[in-house]
Structure 1
Amino acid sequence: MYIVGITGGIGSGKNAVTDRLQDLGITIVDADIVAREVVAKGEPALDKIAEHFGSHIVTESGELNRKDLREIIFRDKTAKTWLEQLLHPIIRQSIKQQLHDATSSYAVLSSPLLLETDQHELVQTVIVVDAAEELQLARTVKRDSASKEQIKAIMAAQLPRQERLKKADIIIDNNADLESLENQVIKLHTELSEATHRA
């Protein structure tokens, strides 16, 4: 199975690209969704988190109390490291399995941390969806109803834009309108389908 990795900074339009590819019949494995699945109610990882941090980290309905956990790992670096060491291998294994089970002509791993983690080792081609930083900011503030300060803090924690672009095999420029993005996605899909068909 030929695997393509798609990444981009917050507000770059990564989801718009993967949604369109999904409409075209391509299997999308979204690392953010996998990260939520592995700590869902009844999952072994959730039991380990509760064991480590205390039962208050699980709500009465048996779900992870994300707000409390976020606050703990924000304050305590060792807690963050412990959590990453627990979850990253489980997330990686689940991603690998879902990519392995894909039935489309190629599969996509969509991940905001594709280049910051070892997830890029799972893909043959790295695609970066790129937008100017002021556009990223404006789109995210509108989408998430968040403050500019919150979004800037998230952007500062991500890989710098130029670093991300340097590591890209293919760049999708999302500085214009949706029609421009759509045309680039269709062209990309055609090229990838032809390449995997020839392989």
Structure 2
Amino acid sequence: MKLSVGLTGGIGSGKSTVAERFERLGASLVDADEISRALTAPGGAAMPALRAAFGRGLVAADGALDRRAMRELAFTDPGARARLEAILHPLVRAESDRARAGAGGHYVMMIVPLLFETGGQARVDRTLVVDAPEETQVERVVRRSALAPEEVRQVMAAQWPRWRRLQAADDVVFNGGSEGELDAQCERLHARYAELARERA
């Protein structure tokens, strides 16, 4: 089995930005969010179970999950959130495992926003946290989405706090500085992961 690195970080930390750099350097990416979107798209494998659990009120006109309505329900009703996770997480894990098994590249980077929250660190060889100041996280998400600052903070409150992620991480990339600083950090870690992958081969 190829070396696997679990990449995580809070909302707006810049996980996609960092993952793209590692992909250019030679890593294969498996993105849990992309898999989740496919599972909840029109005709997605998760939709029958989600429709049965939550009713048609959370299904958009095109047959996809109404993600905004689902997010609002999940943050106000812990029971609904638990039901959602019980349906989605096993499907995402199974699809991620399939994608990892078929991946090329020096090593596989698993992009999992809730890596620690879901115990996903047990399924990878190393964990990499993308870190950024909390105010920067809020600004980035507000800029790219229709969420208000208080909604972003609500999402952040449902994730592990920054200090706890940093404490649990094997490796950290700080994404609050310049592009050059970010490049240098990614290149240094890529060299380390490639070395570990060669040792494993």
Tell me the equivalent position of 1:139. 140
Alignment partner, residue 83 of structure 2: 82
Match of 1:30 in 2: 31
List aligned pairs for 1:81-100, cutoff 5 A.
81-100=82-101
- Please identify, of 32-41 and 162-171, the stretch whose mean Cα deviation from structure 2 is larger: 32-41
Q: CA deviation at 1:6?
A: 0.8
Partner of 1:20 in structure 2?
A: 21
The 3 A distance-change label for structure 1 pair 120 and 53 is same
Tell me if structure 2 keeps the 8 A contact 1:11–1:140. Answer: yes
Aligned to 2:51: 50
> CA offset at residue 123 of structure 1?
0.6
Aligned residue number for residue 5 of structure 1: 6
What are the Cα deviations for residues 84-126 of structure 1, in whole angstroms up to 9, with x where unaligned? 1111111111111111111111000111101110221111101
- Contact 2:3–2:196 (Cα < 8 Å) also in 1: no
RMSD of Structure 2 on Structure 1 (CA): 1.8
CA deviation profile, 1:27-55 (whole Å, cap 9, x unmatched): 11111111111222223420122223223
The aligned amino acid for 2:22 is L
Contact 1:96-1:122 at 8 Å conserved across structures:
no
**Paired-residue identity, %:** 37
Output aligned runs, 1:1-199, within 5 Å: 1-144=2-145, 146-199=147-200
Instruction: Name which of structure 1's ranges 105-114 and 9-18 shifts more when overlaid on structure 2.
Output: 9-18
Q: Which residue identity does 1:46 align to in structure 2?
A: M
Normalising by structure 1, we get a TM-score of 0.90
1:89–1:104 Cα change, 3 Å? same
Which deviates more, 110-119 or 48-57?
Answer: 48-57
Q: CA deviation at 1:185?
A: 0.7
Q: Offset of 1:15 from its aligned partner?
A: 1.3
C-alpha distance in 2 between matches for 1:161 and 1:57: 31
Tell me: CA distance 1:76–1:45, structure 2 relative to 1, closer, same or farther (3 Å). same
Residue range with higher mean Cα deviation, 170-179 or 132-141: 132-141
The answer to whether the 8 A contact 2:53-2:83 is kept is no
1:139-168 residue CA offsets vs partner (Å, 9 max, x unmatched): 333333543222222222211111111101
Count how many residue pairs are aligned between Structure 1 and Structure 2.
199
Question: What is the deviation of 1:186?
Answer: 1.2
Query: By how many angstroms is 1:77 displaced?
Result: 2.8
**CA deviation digits over 1:48-71, x for unaligned, max 9?**
222232234333432222233334
Judge conservation of contact 1:92–1:119 (CA < 8 Å) in 2: no
Q: Distance in 1 between matches of 2:153 and 2:74?
A: 19
Q: CA, structure 1 residues 139+67, in 2 after alignment: closer, same or farther (shift >3 Å)? A: closer
Is the partner of 1:43 in helix, strand or coil?
A: coil
Where 1:103 maps in the other structure, the secondary structure is: coil
- Contact kept, 8 Å, 1:4 with 1:109, in 2: the verdict is yes
Task: Give the Cα–Cα distance (whole angstroms) in 2 for the partners of residues 52 and 175 of structure 1.
Answer: 40
Q: TM-score, normalised by structure 2?
A: 0.89
